Amino acid sequence: MQDIHPVLNEARQLQEETIALRRQIHAHPELSFEEYNTAQLLAAKLTSLGYTVKTGIGKTGLIADLGAGPTVAIRAEMDAVPIGELNRTTYSSMVAGVSHACGHDANIACAIAAAKLLSDLKPPGRIRMIMQPAAEESCDENGKTGTQRMIEEGALKDVQAIITLHVDGTLATGKVGILLEPQAVSTNIFKIVLCSREGNKQGQAQDTVLLAARLVQDIYEKAGQSSVSSDGNVLFVSAIQSSSMHADVPANQVTVQGFFRSMSKDARKSIMSKLDQICASIAKESCECTILYGVPQSAHGNSPEIAELMRQIASELIGIDNVLVLKRKTWTEDFASFTEVVPGALVLLGAEIAGNRRIAHSPTFDVDESCLCVGAAILAETACQLIDKIQTMK
Per-residue pLDDT tens for 185-223?
Answer: 667 788 899 888 754 444 344 578 888 888 888 888 887
In CATH terms, is domain 6-182+301-393 a member of 1.10.1200.10?
no
196 versus 2: the higher-pLDDT residue is 196
Q: How far apart are CA 46 and CA 64, in angstroms?
A: 7
Residue 175 has pLDDT above 90, yes or no: yes
Higher pLDDT, 95 or 260: 95
| Angstrom distances, CA of residue 114 to CA of 11, 128, 130, 255 | 8, 11, 12, 42
More confident residue, 219 or 386: 386
Domain boundaries, the chain: 6-182+301-393, 185-297
The answer on pLDDT for 276 being more than 60 is yes
Lowest mean per-residue pLDDT among 78-82, 187-191, 339-343: 187-191
What architecture does CATH give domain 185-297? 2-Layer Sandwich (3.30)
With CA atoms as reference, report the closest residue to 214 among 230, 192, 198.
192
369 touches 103 (CB < 8 A): no
Q: Collapse the DSSP code of 340 into the 3-class scheme (helix H, G, I; strand E, B; otherwise coil) and give the result.
A: coil
Rounded Cα distance between 344 and 350, Å, is 20
Q: In this structure, how many other beta carbons lie within 10 angstroms of the beta carbon of residue 52?
A: 12
CB 232 within 8 A of CB 348: no
Measured from the Cβ of residue 169, the count of other Cβ atoms closer than 10 Å reads: 24
Using only the alpha carbons of the chain, give its radius of gyration. 22
Same fold, 6-182+301-393 and 185-297: no
Average pLDDT over residues 43-58: 97
Burial 83-98 (b: 16+ CB within 10 A, else e): bebeeeeebebeeeeb
Residue 171, Cα to own-chain centre: how many angstroms?
A: 16
pLDDT at 1 > cutoff 60: no
Percent of the chain with pLDDT over 90: 56
Q: Tell whether the model's pLDDT for residue 229 goes beyond 60.
A: no
Q: 55: part of which helix (H) or strand (E)?
A: strand 52-57
- Residue of 91, 92, 90, 112 whose CA lies nearest to 14: 112
Judged against a pLDDT cut of 70, whether residue 263 lies above it is answered with no
In this prediction, residues 250-276 reach a mean pLDDT of 80
Band (pLDDT 50/70/90 cuts) for residue 247 is low
